[in-house]
Amino acid sequence: MYRVLYRKYRPRVFADVIGQPQVTDTLRSEIRSGRLAHAYLFTGSRGTGKTTCSKILSKAVNCLSPRDGDPCGECEICRGIDDGSIMDVVEIDAASNNGVDDIRMLREEADFTPANAKYRVYIIDEVHMLSIGAFNALLKTLEEPPAHVIFILATTEVHKLPATIMSRCQRFDFHRISPQDIAARLEYVCEQENCTIDHEAALLIAGIADGAMRDSLSLLDQAMGQDQHITDELVRRTAGLADKSSIISICECILDKDPAGAIDLIDELHRSSKDMARLCEELVEHLRAMMLIKTMKQPDGVLVMSEDELRRTSGQASRMELSFIISSIDKLQGAYDRMLHGVNRRIEMEMTVVHLCSEGKSSDIQALTQKVEMLEGVLSRLVSDPSSLTAASSMKPASNPTLPKQKKPSTEEMDKLRENAVPMEQWPEIIEEIAKSSKALYTGFEGSRAYISGKFVLVDSDKDICFELLRKQQNREKMKAAIMKVTGRSYSLGRYSYPDEKKTDDALSQLANDLKAAGIPVSGQ
Ligand SMILES: Nc1ncnc2c1ncn2[C@@H]1O[C@H](COP(=O)(O)OP(=O)(O)O)[C@@H](O)[C@H]1O
Ligand SMILES: [Mg+2]
Ligand SMILES: [Zn+2]
């Protein structure tokens, strides 16, 4: 039967636990000297060795011939604990046994002396999940612990523990394991399994797992399932990462201020089922690397990347201003948050990258030319069809396929919609909701009103900005998502009233005149 790697390679002695000397050295010396605590608290992020060390400790305190603070692993007690035949070591998962009764039962049982071993050891995993009642019951036992009982409490979320419990435990903090340590362990495991792994690939796994040994071994397991020789490329494929060169290419587009190129790349990744939120994270990672390269003397200590990657990343970093890198990270992180809040991930990704491509562009001539071309296009459309000013987007090129062609409804249609309209009571709540994903939208819609009519939500506001905002596809998406969230229904968006045609015409000719005055030729006139 196949045993997953992280189980197969669970350390059996403290000496094999990697990267936690502050825990393992102290525990071994306590065991050697026999100065044991009655309660231990193991905290730290997942997959760093808490459960592993609990098991080793439970054996070490009971082992018949301990070796330098480690369990021998061979005596009947060690073997009995390993195979579960000795009942004096009890593992409790607090996530599923979190009630008062569970802990009461444990207390009654704890009063009896152990059957085979010296100590009865209770390992309570995910201890932060206990109910208040259960914590109180546990506290009673911790206050007067029977001499033959040792508690080991383990948790990833120590801040959720009552202070009264914490103060009665000896606390050990498990750290994230360094990429170098993880990589070395992975290389060792591969050797044992008759596989080969490139050092770069091992480092990449360590980076993805963010200091967790369990996740590293799981990823290695998956990669091994595909090939006996593990490369950087295989790891990327297995983890669903974009090819590093795609990330570098997107950044190249940002540097070249080439939004079209960036959108093409995103489209390609999207078609190969790449998750856009993940892509966003990877871009942030890459920009962070550049930030470190620009600010640190020796970034290679912190950065987990191959020499070649470091060279390419440094090359890009040298062409980017630090302030731009920082603001880009900020924007991408904002986009990432919004992605998790349910906006269309692809649109969000495109929007952000286009935004980054146009950053700081205003001074360069090519950008200006592009802007003028865009304005020309918009204007010629407006002149031939004035009603499009109030309906479809006015700032996007005509060829953009993602924009809905929206016509202003006829007066009769409008009258009919208004006739059936009822004020939307949840509107203020929807505006609060929108505040979570966009400050700009929130400001724009503050003080507006809305009506429901059939499948329409009709917005009314004294502020024009509100309708300006609604012309943008991504804003409509956000608004619709907020409406959906609050009402549980999907609505189309519309205006409650339209400014009269005359005014629109005036505004239009004014705009045309302004542009002409600025020397921009207006086609269609
Ligand atoms: N410090 C470590 N040294 C070596 N292997 C480790 C370490 N931490 C975790 N592992 C590996 O990850 C697996 C899960 O670790 P575990 O101790 O259950 O983590 P947790 O901290 O989440 O309780 C172990 O079986 C082992 O293979
Ligand atoms: Mg655990
Ligand atoms: Zn033993």
Torsion over CA of 498, 499, 500 and 504, rounded to 10 degrees? -120
Cα–ligand 1 centroid distance for 47 (angstroms): 5
Angle at 267 between CA 264 and CA 268, to 5 degrees: 90
The one-letter amino acid code at 279 reads L
Please report the beta strands in 388-499, taking only residues with DSSP state E, as ranges in sequence order: 422-423, 449-453, 456-460, 492-495
Write down which residue in 239, 259, 274 finishes a domain.
Answer: 239
Based on the domain organization, do 64 and 33 belong to the same domain? yes
Q: What is the pLDDT of residues 284-296, one digit of tens each?
A: 999 999 999 999 9
The CATH number linked to 66 is: 3.40.50.300
Domain assignment present for residue 166? The answer is yes
Q: Is 459's pLDDT higher than 60? A: yes
Q: Which of 5, 176, 213, 220 to mutate to test the pocket of ligand 1 (most atoms within 8 A of CB)?
A: 213
pLDDT computed for residue 91 by the predictor: 92
Assign residue 454 a region: left if phi > 0, alpha if psi is -120 to 50, beta otherwise? left
Q: Which of 22, 126, 214, 217 to mutate to test the pocket of ligand 1 (most atoms within 8 A of CB)?
A: 214
Based on the domain organization, do 161 and 289 belong to the same domain? no
pLDDT band for position 242 (cuts 50, 70, 90): confident
Based on the domain organization, do 72 and 160 belong to the same domain? yes
Domain assignment present for residue 129? The answer is yes
Domain assignment present for residue 375? The answer is no
Domain assignment present for residue 416? The answer is yes
Based on the domain organization, do 146 and 10 belong to the same domain? yes
For residue 149, which phi and psi values (nearest 5 degrees)?
A: -115, 140
* Closest atom of ligand 1 relative to the 9 alpha carbon: 27
pLDDT computed for residue 509 by the predictor: 60
Q: Which of 10, 12, 40, 190 to mutate to test the pocket of ligand 1 (most atoms within 8 A of CB)?
A: 10
Angle at 66 between CA 62 and CA 71, to 5 degrees: 70
Cα–ligand 1 centroid distance for 28 (angstroms): 18
Do 138 and 130 meet the contact criterion of CB atoms below 8 Å apart?
Answer: yes
Torsion over CA of 108, 83, 170 and 127, rounded to 10 degrees? -60
pLDDT band for position 402 (cuts 50, 70, 90): very low
pLDDT band for position 305 (cuts 50, 70, 90): confident
Task: Please report the DSSP string for 214-226 in residue order.
Answer: HHHHHHHHHHHTT
Using CA atoms, how far residue 445 sits from 172, 430, 469, 495, 516, in Å, is 51, 10, 9, 13, 33
Cβ-proximal residues to 33 (8 Å cutoff; 6+ apart), any chain: none
Question: Strand, helix or coil at 80?
Answer: helix
* Closest atom of ligand 1 relative to the 52 alpha carbon: 17
Average pLDDT over residues 176-186: 95
Lowest mean pLDDT among 38-42, 48-52, 403-407, 419-423: 403-407
Write down which residue in 174, 208, 223 finishes a domain.
Answer: 174
Write down which residue in 239, 260, 283 finishes a domain.
Answer: 239
Average pLDDT over residues 396-415: 53
Based on the domain organization, do 429 and 458 belong to the same domain? yes
Domain assignment present for residue 522? The answer is no
Compute the distance between CA of residue 106 and CA of residue 112 in angstroms, rounded to an integer: 10
* Encoded tokens for 32: 């050697």
Three-state SS letters, 395-422? CCCCCCCCCCCCCCCCHHHHHHHHHCCE
Domain assignment present for residue 517? The answer is no
Average pLDDT over residues 229-245: 88
| Closest to 511 measured CA to CA, from 367, 384, 375 | 375
Residue % of the chain over a pLDDT of 70: 85
Long-range contacts of 518-522 (CB under 8 A, 24+ apart): 520/372, 520/375, 520/376, 521/376, 522/376, 522/379, 522/380, 522/383
pLDDT band for position 386 (cuts 50, 70, 90): low
Based on the domain organization, do 38 and 93 belong to the same domain? yes
Residue whose Cα lies nearest atom 13 of ligand 1: it is 214
Residues with CB under 6 A from ligand 1: 6-7, 9-11, 17-20, 46-52, 177, 213-214, 217
Based on the domain organization, do 310 and 169 belong to the same domain? no
Residue whose Cα lies nearest atom 17 of ligand 1: it is 49
Residue whose Cα lies nearest atom 20 of ligand 1: it is 47
Torsion over CA of 91, 93, 97 and 102, rounded to 10 degrees? 30
Do 89 and 117 meet the contact criterion of CB atoms below 8 Å apart?
Answer: yes
Cα–ligand 1 centroid distance for 67 (angstroms): 22
Three-state SS letters, 226-273? CCCEECHHHHHHHHCCCCHHHHHHHHHHHHHCCHHHHHHHHHHHHHCC
Three-state SS letters, 13-79? CHHHCCCCHHHHHHHHHHHHHCCCCCEEEEEECCCCCHHHHHHHHHHHCCCCCCECCECCCCCHHHH
Cα–ligand 2 centroid distance for 168 (angstroms): 21
Average pLDDT, the chain: 85
CB atoms under 10 Å from CB of 430, counted, come to 20
Q: Is 100's pLDDT higher than 70? A: yes
Do 149 and 58 meet the contact criterion of CB atoms below 8 Å apart?
Answer: no
Q: Is 230's pLDDT higher than 80? A: yes
Average pLDDT over residues 36-44: 96
Q: Is 400's pLDDT higher than 50? A: no
* Encoded tokens for 212: 């967790």
Average pLDDT over residues 488-511: 67
Do 419 and 496 meet the contact criterion of CB atoms below 8 Å apart?
Answer: no
Based on the domain organization, do 187 and 170 belong to the same domain? no
Based on the domain organization, do 63 and 165 belong to the same domain? yes
Residue whose Cα lies nearest atom 25 of ligand 1: it is 10
pLDDT computed for residue 395 by the predictor: 42
pLDDT computed for residue 507 by the predictor: 55
Q: Is 325's pLDDT higher than 90? A: yes
Q: Which of 20, 25, 52 to mutate to test the pocket of ligand 1 (most atoms within 8 A of CB)?
A: 52
Rounded to a whole number of angstroms, the distance between the first and last alpha carbons of the chain is 79
The CATH number linked to 459 is: 3.30.300.180
Based on the domain organization, do 329 and 262 belong to the same domain? yes
Domain assignment present for residue 477? The answer is yes
Based on the domain organization, do 146 and 79 belong to the same domain? yes
pLDDT computed for residue 501 by the predictor: 39
The one-letter amino acid code at 50 reads K
* Closest atom of ligand 1 relative to the 20 alpha carbon: 1
Lowest mean pLDDT among 156-165, 296-305, 510-519: 510-519
* Encoded tokens for 438: 């966009």
pLDDT band for position 408 (cuts 50, 70, 90): low
* Encoded tokens for 430: 């929807």
Cα–ligand 2 centroid distance for 47 (angstroms): 7
pLDDT computed for residue 34 by the predictor: 92
Based on the domain organization, do 120 and 206 belong to the same domain? no
Q: Is 396's pLDDT higher than 70? A: no
Query: Which pTM value belongs to this model?
Result: 0.62
pLDDT computed for residue 387 by the predictor: 57
* Closest atom of ligand 1 relative to the 7 alpha carbon: 25
* Number of domains composing the chain: 4
Q: Is 492's pLDDT higher than 70? A: yes
- Domain of 232 in residue numbering reads as 179-239
pLDDT computed for residue 80 by the predictor: 95
Q: For helices 179-192 and 213-224, give the axis angle rounded to 10 degrees.
A: 40
Domain assignment present for residue 323? The answer is yes
Kindly tell me the sign of the dihedral angle through the C-alpha atoms of 35, 37, 38, 43. negative
Residue whose Cα lies nearest atom 16 of ligand 1: it is 49
Do 206 and 306 meet the contact criterion of CB atoms below 8 Å apart?
Answer: no
Cβ-proximal residues to 278 (8 Å cutoff; 6+ apart), any chain: 240, 241, 242
Q: Is 133's pLDDT higher than 70? A: yes
Residue whose Cα lies nearest atom 18 of ligand 1: it is 51
Cβ burial, residue 525 (10 Å; 0-12/13-18/19+): exposed
Cβ burial, residue 138 (10 Å; 0-12/13-18/19+): buried
Average pLDDT over residues 457-476: 84
Lookup result for tokens 């003080």: 447
